[in-house]
Amino acid sequence: MGSRIMSDALPAISIRNLVKRYAGAGGEAGKLALDGVSFDVPQGEVFGLLGPNGAGKSTLINILAGLVGKTSGTVEIWGHDIDRDRRNAKACIGIVPQEIVFDPFFTPYEVLENQAGLYGVAKALRRSDELLRAVHLADKRNAYARSLSGGMKRRMLIAKAMVHSPPVLVLDEPTAGVDVELRRQLWELVSELNREGVTVVLTTHYLEEAEELCERIAIINHGRLIANKPTRELVGMMREKIVVLTLDRAMDQMPHHPAFTRSAKRDDRVLEITYDKDRITAGQVMALVQEQGLVIEDVTTREADLEDVFVQLTGAG
């Protein structure tokens, strides 16, 4: 679907020293939403953009969409500068917003036809039925959009963003507030589009989603880029392991030791200890806990995952 030809060497999106400061009241300098952000999105990848609420992700996406003007820096989409070559830059990107917005009185087919018309896609080149099949809505072609379920509307928005065959698709929190089954369906759809050659940028709150879908992840916090690495490498940054201990009775006080990175109480009898696996083993952790007079009934261990990396990098939680 995203078949526009570009030199392999060029990134799908290139962002350099991007700054956005909103105007304040009474001529005062307002909030600095993006503070010198630079990164590239490689062609053909699913790229994750993560960050806590208010970190600057939405501002960045609104700049890519042409809805918000940047203060300074450069942004190129598929080799086109968003200021000097706005028309081509816009033609190379499709944006799927968080909010579900379209006219409830049109059918899915009409929504896509109207959107294609807005992009100046000639009638003979429109692919409305093909897109409805791709997002598994062919059977709803002539239903009123207002009669679609929430999940169908999400898929509809993805089709709407693809009417002009952009090589880059940006999904802003596509699975926020949807159930697990629908989230899986949307994941499958994103993977399908990517296999067909579309570069996908995904912002998400769900770290499991980023870990499952994204080959590379950039993390923004307080308007600054704090990480940009292949997903496997980000997860591999954690030398930590977590051991969950169930004790025979409620504990009066938490066990402590310098080798424990963190210890947290899940409930009165369940203890979660994070430790540096380069310094100590799970067996030694258990021995240290037992030395402090606690009796262990059950034990499980897990490797740190992306959520742990995220907490460590952003200082969240």
The DSSP secondary structure of 61-96, one letter per residue, reads HHHHTTSS--SEEEEEETTEETTTTHHHHHHTEEEE
Please determine, for residue 259, whether its predicted confidence score (pLDDT) is greater than 60: yes
Distance of CA 95 to the CA centre of its chain: 13
Is the pLDDT higher at 27 or at 50?
50
- Band of pLDDT at residue 5, cut at 50, 70 and 90: low
**Which residues have C-beta within 8 Å of that of residue 87, sequence separation ≥ 6?**
none
* pLDDT tens figures, 108-131: 999 999 999 999 999 999 999 999
Residue 266 CA: distances (Å) to CA of 19, 100, 256, 262, 273: 41, 37, 16, 13, 10
Of residues 134, 137, 117, the one with CA closest to residue 126? 117
- Please state the separation of Cα 172 from the chain's center in Å: 7
Summarize the confidence of residues 16-33 as an average pLDDT. Answer: 85
pLDDT score recorded for residue 69:
94
Report the alpha-carbon distance of residue 137 to residue 141 in Å, rounded: 7
- Residue 9, pLDDT score: 74
Q: What is the pLDDT of residue 3?
A: 47
* Helical axes 108-118 vs 150-161, angle rounded to 10°: 30
pTM recorded for the entire structure: 0.78
Q: What is the pLDDT of residue 7?
A: 64
Q: What residues contact 163, with CB distance under 8 A and at least 6 apart?
A: 94, 112, 115, 116, 119, 121, 126, 127, 128, 131
Helices (H) and strands (E) in the chain, counts: 10, 14
Helix, strand, coil proportions of the chain in percent (round to 5)?
Answer: 35, 30, 35
What Rg do the C-alpha atoms of the chain give, in angstroms?
A: 24
- pLDDT mean over 39-67: 92
Fold adopted by 238-314: Alpha-Beta Plaits (3.30.70)
| Mean pLDDT for the chain overall | 88
Domain locations in the chain as residue ranges = 13-235, 238-314
- CATH ID of 13-235, from 3.30.390.50, 3.10.450.710, 2.60.40.10, 3.40.50.300: 3.40.50.300
Count the residues in the chain.
Answer: 317
Tell me the average pLDDT across 3-20: 83
pLDDT confidence of residue 238: 67
Higher confidence at residue 263 or residue 236?
263
One-character DSSP codes across 178-234: --HHHHHHHHHHHHHHHHTT-EEEEE-S-HHHHHHH-SEEEEEETTEEEEEEEHHHH
Which DSSP letter does residue 258 get?
T
Mean predicted confidence (pLDDT) in 219-223? 91
pLDDT per position as a tens digit, 276-305: 877 888 888 889 888 888 888 888 887 767
Q: How far is CA 272 from the centre of its chain?
A: 28
Q: Could you tell me the CA-to-CA distances from 231 to 104, 107, 236, 258 in Å, in that order?
A: 39, 39, 8, 30
Most confident of 55-64, 245-254, 279-288: 55-64
Query: Does residue 175 carry a pLDDT above 80?
Result: yes
pLDDT, mean of residues 68-73: 95
Instruction: Find out whether 228 and 245 touch, Cβ atoms under 8 Å.
Output: no
Question: By C-alpha distance, which of 234, 221, 292 is closest to 263?
Answer: 292
Q: In this predicted structure, what is the pLDDT of residue 317?
A: 43
202 close to 214: Cβ distance less than 8 angstroms: yes
* Cα 117 from Cα 114, distance rounded (Å): 5
Q: How confident is the model at residue 316 (pLDDT cuts 50, 70, 90)?
A: low
Q: Pick from 237, 214, 217, 238: which is nearest to 226 by CA? A: 217
